[in-house]
Amino acid sequence: MRQSVAELQQLCNDILQRNGLSEEDAHIVADILIEAELRGRSTHGLVRLPGIVHRDAKRRPMKLARDGGAYALIDGQDNLGYLVAHRCARTVIGKGDQTGIGIVGGYNTGHSGMLGYYTTMIADAGLIGLAMCDTSPRMVPWGATEAVLGSNPISAGFPAGKGQVIVDLSCAAVTNGQLMLAMKDGTPIPDGCALGPDGHLTTDPQMAREGAALPFGGHKGYALSLMVQILSGALVRASVVPERGSNYGLLMIAISPSIFLDPRFFRTGVEELIERIKSARKAEGVGEILIPGERSFRLRETQLRDGIELDEDLSLELADL
């Protein structure tokens, strides 16, 4: 079933407000979910709405635990992770504008959705954005068979001469959202991505959920995940190894190019690098070399025009919320 973006925004807003969110908060969460759908990240899109509705969030006012010229620390007070991350993004943009560089941490929060949403916010403000967060154990350390680390996504956003460069990736070879979709569709996951509860490789998404994901790139993904978990966990007062949905942490950084050069020269430099990459000699069978985020933004434009195709089962589930 294909629906317009406006229809889905109204549907999400209505569902969220019926379930206790204010009009402003409902708009924020709906926008994050729909943006994920627009960019083809359905694992972080409307499939998350039932879980949000059924989550027992306390919805107490967030607290500013620390505040300095270039930094802040926000106690999410167990609010929805989407709202805490949005508050952190707005705060770090203000810090970056004011001082040239801002760093903001958040704790006592939960799943915050597609991190690329927040780095896009930062890049839209003309700043370089970095965002990372920890999650409950979903991934094994390299050489282990037990999940200790989260999938620990990391994102970066760069303003360019024509649009943005958005890097957004998980440290895990397969994410929990991808497992959920594979289970729903009855399809296997790629080989070499996950272990079952017995510690052996599996392509069964249900067994992978009961087991653990492997880090992408072997020991390199493991090292990157450890870095993210330290910066968005131990550093910001979040749980070092959080339980599911409890005291997750996040860290955001905003850098104004103006601390080093005229921002116009920075954007020109990024654009020059992009042009060099896209004009590089192509491998056999490759029609075009894409920049991180480019495919997602193209899909976004198409779906803004044509609407978003929703799975029939999901449409029925949303209608019952």
Percent of the chain with pLDDT over 70: 99
Q: Taking the model in full, what pTM does it have?
A: 0.95
DSSP state string for 96-151 = HHHHSEEEEEEEEE-----HHHHHHHHHHTTSEEEEEE--SS-BPPTT-SS--B--
DSSP state string for 141-171 = PTT-SS--B----EEEEEE-SSSEEEEEE-S
Residue 58: what pLDDT?
A: 63
| CA distances (Å), origin 281, targets 158, 240, 289, 292 | 25, 44, 9, 18
The Cα 213–Cα 194 span in angstroms is 4
- How many beta carbons lie within 10 A of that of residue 239, not counting itself? 17
Residue 79: what pLDDT?
A: 94
Do strands 308-309 and 2-3 pair parallel, antiparallel, or not at all (unpaired)? antiparallel
The Cα 28–Cα 300 span in angstroms is 18
Residue 39: what pLDDT?
A: 98
pLDDT category at 74 given cuts 50, 70, 90 is very high
Q: Are 174 and 147 in contact (CB under 8 A)?
A: no
Torsion of CA 318, 319, 320, 321, to 10 degrees: 50
**For 6-28, how does the pLDDT look when each residue is reduced to its tens digit (9 = 90+)?**
999 999 999 999 999 999 999 99
**For 284-320, how does the pLDDT look when each residue is reduced to its tens digit (9 = 90+)?**
999 999 999 999 999 999 999 999 999 888 888 998 8
The Cα 287–Cα 276 span in angstroms is 16
What would the two tokens of residue 240 be? 């070092």
**For 36-56, how does the pLDDT look when each residue is reduced to its tens digit (9 = 90+)?**
999 999 989 999 999 999 886
Residue 57 scores a pLDDT above 70: no
Secondary structure of residue 237 in the 3-state scheme: coil
What would the two tokens of residue 217 be? 């790139």
3-state secondary structure 35-58: HHHHCCCHHHCHHHHHHHHHCCCC
**For 231-252, how does the pLDDT look when each residue is reduced to its tens digit (9 = 90+)?**
999 999 999 999 987 899 999 9
Q: Are 46 and 310 in contact (CB under 8 A)?
A: yes
Beta bridge partners of 63: 75
| CA distances (Å), origin 131, targets 123, 148, 303 | 12, 21, 26
Average pLDDT of the residues of the chain: 96
Tokens 């989260």 found at: 150
Give mean pLDDT, residues 150-177.
Answer: 95
Instruction: Please state whether 273 falls in left (phi above 0), alpha (psi between -120 and 50) or beta.
Output: alpha
Give mean pLDDT, residues 171-196.
Answer: 93
The Cα 78–Cα 76 span in angstroms is 5
Pick the CATH number of 2-172+215-259 from 3.10.50.40, 3.50.50.100, 3.30.1370.60, 3.30.930.10: 3.30.1370.60
The Cα 84–Cα 247 span in angstroms is 12
- Domain segments of the chain as ranges: 2-172+215-259
**For 80-96, how does the pLDDT look when each residue is reduced to its tens digit (9 = 90+)?**
999 999 999 999 999 99
Instruction: Please state whether 270 falls in left (phi above 0), alpha (psi between -120 and 50) or beta.
Output: alpha
The Cα 17–Cα 215 span in angstroms is 38
